[in-house]
Amino acid sequence: MNRIVQKFVDLKQAKQKGLVVYIGAGDPNLEATRQLALAFDQAGVAILELGVPFSDPLADGLVNQLAAQRGLESGTTPPKLLATVAAVRRESQIPIVLYIYFNLIHRVGLERFIKDAAQAGVDGLLVLDLPPEESDNYEALMRKAGLCHIYLVAPTTPEDRIELIVKRGSGFIYYVSRIGVTGMQTSVSDTLPAMTAKLRAHTDLPIAIGFGISNPEQARLVAQHGEAIVVGSAVVNQIAQYGQSPELVRKVGEFVQSLTQALKG
């Protein structure tokens, strides 16, 4: 069974909520990415999302844009990232999703990229700018490779389109809990109960809620409405703060541990 699918089965059986952590791959370098992945596994992270550095990250706010820039500056490329995923796989079975823009896949070739990702140990792709209407061949290749194709739903998505998107997705549905780009927020959206109810009316897939969750209190609050929460910018911000410090992995790992503990409380 795909690691993402298995993880949500395990969480449901344990009556627990999952923490999905997003970081920019190669920020500050790929060895740090490998070490952070292992630290997150130890901290109880359910799924790791690795942002593949791209020059035009349109869905991202400043914190993650800067992480992408640092990843590019460290020389991170899709093949080097897949080699890092393979290195993680030698020590960990943490489910891994690549958060990626389609241009990077197109450059390599769709079939080859998916095959290489699966061989490296990737479990799913979240392609930010590939709508379901243009995904027939992509979805077929992903199913053949045993990978989950994960789609986003936003607060502004009309209900008929929600139905289309969630029926096409696999692994989990990523619900973007607010309008705009990624980034830390001081409050939680008050539309969460209504929107997650709309999603559940059309799918049995787990729902992971993200965009803006910044601290353990918000994590605990948002987790009431989904099977998992996604924390990205708040973790990336810690990496930016400690990126050149020998304490990087320990400090970021402690912050992530505070989030996993909040979900158990």
Average confidence (pLDDT) over 32-52: 98
Q: Is the model more confident about 167 or about 185?
A: 167
Please report, for the chain, the start and end positions of each structural domain, with discontinuous segments joined by +.
Answer: 3-264
Does 190 have pLDDT greater than 90? Answer: no
Does 183 have pLDDT greater than 70? Answer: no
Could you confirm whether 60 is annotated as catalytic? Answer: yes
Q: Is the model more confident about 184 or about 228?
A: 228
**What HEC string does the chain produce?**
CCHHHHHHHHHHHCCCCEEEEEEECCCCCHHHHHHHHHHHHHHCCCEEEEECCCCCCCCCCHHHHHHHHHHHHCCCCHHHHHHHHHHHHCCCCCCEEEEECHHHHHHHCHHHHHHHHHHHCCCEEEECCCCHHHCHHHHHHHHHHCCEECEEECCCCCHHHHHHHHHHCCCCEEEECCCCCCCCCCCCCCCHHHHHHHHHCCCCCCEEEECCCCCHHHHHHHHCCCCEEEECHHHHHHHHHHCCCCCHHHHHHHHHHHHHHHHHC
Asked if 159 and 183 count as a contact pair (C-beta separation under 8 A), the reply is: no
pLDDT at 76: 98
pLDDT at 102: 97
Identify the band that residue 188 occupies on the pLDDT scale cut at 50, 70 and 90: low
The CATH code that applies to domain 3-264 is 3.20.20.70
In single-letter form, the type of residue at position 181 comes to V
Average confidence (pLDDT) over 233-252: 96
Q: Is the model more confident about 164 or about 213?
A: 164
pTM of the full structure = 0.95
Catalytic residue (one of 10, 27, 41, 49): 49
pLDDT at 131: 93
Average confidence (pLDDT) over 125-150: 97
- Per-residue pLDDT tens over the stretch 194-229: 999 999 999 999 999 997 788 999 999 999 999 999
Catalytic residue (one of 10, 31, 41, 60): 60
Q: What angle do CA 59, 33, 45 make, to 5 degrees?
A: 80
Could you confirm whether 247 is annotated as catalytic? Answer: no
